[in-house]
Copies of this chain bind each other. A is one copy, B any other.
């Protein structure tokens, strides 16, 4: 099942946590596609732990919404359909503005400098997987400002659920990358100015264009 790539870069405090983060990365990154059966014994053997922490991790992913579990039947990677992606984006477009307002209040120069560094790295990054990872870290800088709040948790869950689709969409239409780079640059500038309305507008526009790209890729048959 080729989880080794994820399994190595991971020094968790507990086996359960290790399995959880490994599986989550594999699902979000698209390595584990929707519909894949997740057999406890197989995963345990592959990751070098017993089935107990694997079961716990699968349950966590189930309540997070990334896998589906039925009693005595087992766990399956949740196969999102396009309707659910649309709902996720509807909710994000409703909630992200609230998040923006809070982040403006708590963002500092250090954060913006860090964001700028990542932004520049993304400009020159050619590997798509690496770019996606940088992108995640970029947005994490802002999200972590409000870490621990309900809103941040909900949005994180929504973003995670749509992440596999974004990866696929980027593969299908790589020209989205320069667009996103430009938007990130603009975003930093707007945060420097503290222009709330403009940030919200840019955010909504970014979400709308991402959803449009996913839908196009879906209609073209590039996404299940």
Question: Does any Cβ of B come within 8 Å of A204's Cβ?
Answer: no
Q: Which residues of B contact A150 (CB under 8 A)?
A: 65, 84, 87-88, 91, 158, 161
Alpha-carbon gap, A91 to B152, bound state (A): 11
A189 → chain B, closest Cβ, in Å? 28
Also in contact, A154 and B154, with CB within 8 A (given A52-B52, A56-B59): yes
A149-184 vs B, CB cutoff 8 Å, 1 = contact: the mask equals: 111011000100100000000000000000000000
Question: Does any Cβ of B come within 8 Å of A60's Cβ?
Answer: yes
Given A17-B71, A90-B98, A94-B95, 5 additional A-B pairs, CB 8 A = A60-B60, A91-B95, A91-B151, A95-B95, A150-B161
A49 → chain B, closest Cβ, in Å? 15
Alpha-carbon gap, A65 to B13, bound state (A): 21
A100 → chain B, closest Cβ, in Å? 13
Alpha-carbon gap, A158 to B157, bound state (A): 14
For this complex, 24 residue pairs linking A to B, each with C-beta atoms less than 8 Å apart, are: A13-B71, A14-B71, A16-B59, A17-B71, A52-B52, A55-B56, A56-B56, A56-B59, A59-B59, A59-B60, A60-B60, A63-B64, A65-B153, A87-B149, A87-B150, A88-B150, A91-B95, A91-B98, A91-B150, A91-B151, A91-B154, A94-B98, A150-B158, A154-B154
Q: Which residues of B contact A91 (CB under 8 A)?
A: 95, 98, 150-151, 154
How many chain-A residues does the 8 Å CB contact rule pick out?
28
A5-46 vs B, CB cutoff 8 Å, 1 = contact: the mask equals: 000000001101100000000000000000000000000000
Kindly report which residue of chain B lies nearest to residue A84, judged by CB atoms. Answer: B150
Most chain B beta-carbon neighbours within 10 Å: one of A13, A63, A153: A63
